[in-house]
Amino acid sequence: MSAVDFAPRPASARPLRAAGPVVAGAGATRQALHDPQRSWPETNCSVDLWIELLGALGLEPAAAMAFTVTQDFEGDQFTFFKIPTDDLERLYGVTLQELSIFDRLEDHVAEQLRRGRIVLVEVDGFWLPDTQGVSYRGEHTKTTVGINQIDEANRTLGYFHNAGAFTLSGEDFDGVFGRLPGQRSDSTLFPYAEFVKLDRAPLGPERLRAAAKDLLYRHLERAPARNPIEAWRERITAQMQAVADREPAFFHKVAFNTARQLGANFELLASFLDWLAPGEAAYAAERDAAARIATGAKSLQFNMARAVARRRFDTLPPLLDPLAADWTACVPALAAKLGV
């Protein structure tokens, strides 16, 4: 199917749609998992979106973070971690379905919003004003937004992204929907989209905690057999040497997919363990180990930048030793404590 199939039709041939908001007051309160005082107040576009969306729905995002024990080193990056869809359904009664795009994206979005569903769409961060200073009007990047409201007549869009809920309009609206001259050709692929169904009631507090603990058991069974930080230790010197030979901006992409994904993942695990046993010492040692990985990864990122600038890389592997020890004190220790 070519781009012409979903190109804008003449205004006289179609109504301009408006729908939403599905979630009233979106973005009014910053979620605790996005507190600026955290080591990693933002994680990645997928998890950040769900943190804000769940929080705006009055649900507890921390309950969904058991899966973080499964993060691995994937050879050149740490797992780009996402909340499993099965976990979302079990904990919150939320189901996620792919949205087939066979006509204008704007019409598909409006139809689902009218049905009370949030629409998740992969878009170009170049057109998202909340990324000012990062990608907005500076770099074309793939990211996912959760559309909460659309007004095509006034060319405005309300959306969840990163650590909040935002609005875009005008040329940014046209850019997101690929309506600007030269954006599309016959070879342009349809965007990937999903919709969030909110038809089922979420679990109550006690059942939520019990279900989250059950998920922790299941995810610990899927945890890496080998220490992923030790695996990165073997690669970090060569990796940073290669980064030093690239343009300076490339460092930030590598750091995002290594130190940031590692640190943000384990800071969420620490928050999950705090939520799972509030005021108790049941998981205190494992929680503290996860928190040390989070802060250690932040420090490591600065040292990575310094090593690349100075082209001296021998200091990096030893910096991973305490983080590797903390991984052992966290994930395998949790598994042993729970009898997994």
pLDDT tens-digit map of 122-145: 999 999 999 998 889 999 999 999
Question: How many other C-beta atoms are found inside a 10 Å radius of the C-beta of residue 272?
Answer: 25
pLDDT greater than 90 at residue 328: yes
pLDDT at 268: 98
Q: Tell me what pLDDT residue 298 has.
A: 97
Say whether pLDDT at 284 is over 60.
yes
User: What is the structure's pLDDT at 225?
Assistant: 95
Higher pLDDT, 199 or 215: 215
Checking if the pLDDT of 246 tops 50, the result is yes
pLDDT band at 4 (very low <50, low <70, confident <90, very high): very low
Phi, psi of 196 (to 5 degrees): -100, 115
Domain ranges of the chain: 3-197, 224-338
Please give the share of the chain, as a percent, with pLDDT higher than 70.
Answer: 94
Q: Taking residues 184-197, what's their average pLDDT?
A: 82
Q: What CATH class does 3-197 carry? A: alpha beta
Structure tokens given for 42: 């933002």
Does residue 118 carry a pLDDT above 90? Answer: yes
Reading phi first (left if > 0) and then psi (alpha if -120 to 50, else beta), residue 139 is in beta
User: Which residue from 30, 304, 271, 293 is spatially nearest to 163, judged by alpha carbons?
Assistant: 30
Looking at residue 297, its pLDDT comes to 98
H-type alpha helices, 33-83: 45-56
Spatial CA neighbour of 71 closest among 79, 59, 83: 79
pLDDT > 90: what percent of the chain?
80
Query: What six digits make up the tokens of 191?
Result: 């965007």
Q: Nearest-CA neighbor of 17 among 123, 99, 117, 105? A: 105
At 281 the pLDDT is 85
Q: How confident is the model at residue 19, as a pLDDT? A: 86
Query: Taking Cα atoms as reference points, which of 236, 194, 210, 218 lies closest to residue 75?
Result: 236
CB atoms within 10 A of CB 141: 16
DSSP state of 131: G
Instruction: Report residue 3's pLDDT band, with 50, 70 and 90 as the boundaries.
Output: very low
